[in-house]
Amino acid sequence: MTMCRFEQKIDDYLLNRLKEEEKAEFEEHYFNCVSCFEKTLKQDELIGVIKNKESLFAEQKHPAREASPAPWYDHVFAFLTPKQWALAGAAAALVLVTVLTIIPNGGKVTPKFVLNGEETVRGESLTLISPIIDISAVPSSFEWKRLGEELEYSISIYNHDLLWKATTRDNRIVLPDEVKAKMSAGQKYSWQVRAFSKDGTLIAVSSRVQFQIKPAE
């Protein structure tokens, strides 16, 4: 089976090593790819575990002020035979596998929604309000449905290539004059909005809606 080329970018994405254009391309892909979406969640959980262990090891480097008495289980384990140690290790490994399997899948509930009426996508649904049809003049603002409080929205407008990108905490944004000047009648444009939680996690993405500015009659 051929591996998806985006799988090689999962670590770079989670460690914030991608450029903005590469990051946006990856986010748009993994919301549409069930395999990459699940692997990104699991890798994010694993990186979090590693970071926590590094923090724990850093704390252990500091010398203790007083020698603490050995805990009771040290005395118990001292009498275990090699066979008993092997059985204990196998049991611990089974518990670890169970925990790592349950935590990534059970801790996060990812709803599904339909993108563009065709493809089922993982993530919350984010609905665009205006503009979503052909219009008679250059739009002065863009609006979408609010998902909740303390969210940040990232809007991207395209004319083949990326024309403009901005962020806001409101569910509406006014188009700057310098961007409006780049838009003209008779041309087709598209736009898309992504929603991020206050910790920077991507939680929702809208479909990419196309509209045209009608030429003057």
pLDDT one-digit tens code per residue, 42-89 = 777 777 767 666 555 555 555 555 555 656 555 545 555 555 555 556
How would you class 14 by CB atoms within 10 Å of its CB: exposed for 0-12, middle for 13-18, buried for 19 or more? middle
**Residue 179: which pLDDT band, with cuts at 50, 70 and 90?**
very high
The candidate with the shortest Cα–Cα distance to 187, out of 166, 208, 159, is 159
**Residue 109: which pLDDT band, with cuts at 50, 70 and 90?**
very low
The yes-or-no verdict on residue 99 having pLDDT over 90 is: no
Domains of the chain in start order, with CATH, are 1-59+89-109 (no CATH), 112-212 (2.60.40.10)
Backbone angles phi, psi at 105, to 5 degrees: -90, -35
The CB-side HSE value for 75 (13 A sphere, CA atoms) comes to 4
Q: Where are the alpha helices (DSSP H) in 31-150?
A: 34-60, 72-77, 82-106
